[in-house]
Amino acid sequence: MRRRERFRRSLGLGSRTQANRHLVSQAIAFANETESRIVALNKRIQQLEALAQTDELTGLLNRRGFDEVLRRNLLSAARYEETGLLAYIDLDDFKTVNDRHGHSAGDAVLRQVGAFLSKSIRATDYAARLGGDEFAILFVRADHRPARERAREMLREIGKLKIACKAQRISVRASLGLASYNGETQLENLIERADRAMYADKKNGSRAARLTTLG
């Protein structure tokens, strides 16, 4: 055994084996570090993508994120013969809130409405702030009639909100447009019907408990 070891050393095999082991260890360490960096980078990319689809003020989906949700769920409806409902909500006379109470009060109203919508929908549904004082809800895999009733109930609840701002409490009113979808519905047509229904409801005037328009 000793003769064999001395012979290996004379050929330099022992030092080369040790060097090879060192190189292997370095390669493994580098691979592990690279993998960790890739995982961290992918996580950061996911965070940035989530931020790009989230409304900063309310924490709801923004228009970009909501459009992606609409496309995905319409494809699912076409594949699995699902139905659902799109609701457009627009706050009435919101400009008056900003003019009378300031933009900080307007932001408080938007945050409160956003929080209400977020907690009032099912885990499978989606709520978004599309911009300004315009919101949307997508009731996914839902029968049209109960979804319509739920949307109307939410509208009534919005009318009961009292947003505290400094020494004042601000009331909120909104208009609602509804458009149902199924496996044959096209994205542009769904959005147009909901938007048109919402403006028709707004044109009907503000009443405490009015019937909303179905697009």
Distances (CA, A) of 212 to 135, 151, 175: 15, 9, 8
DSSP assignment letter at 200: H
Catalytic residue selected from 125, 133, 195, 201: 133
Number of H helices, E strands in the chain: 7, 7
Identity of residue 35: E
CA distance 188 to 49: 24
CB 179 within 8 A of CB 126: no
Strand 84-91 versus strand 126-131 pairing type: unpaired
The Cα 27–Cα 124 span in angstroms is: 46
Active site residue 133: yes
> What are the structure tokens assigned to 68, written together?
């992606």
Residue 68 CA to residue 138 CA, distance in Å, equals 12
Name the residues annotated as catalytic. Answer: 133
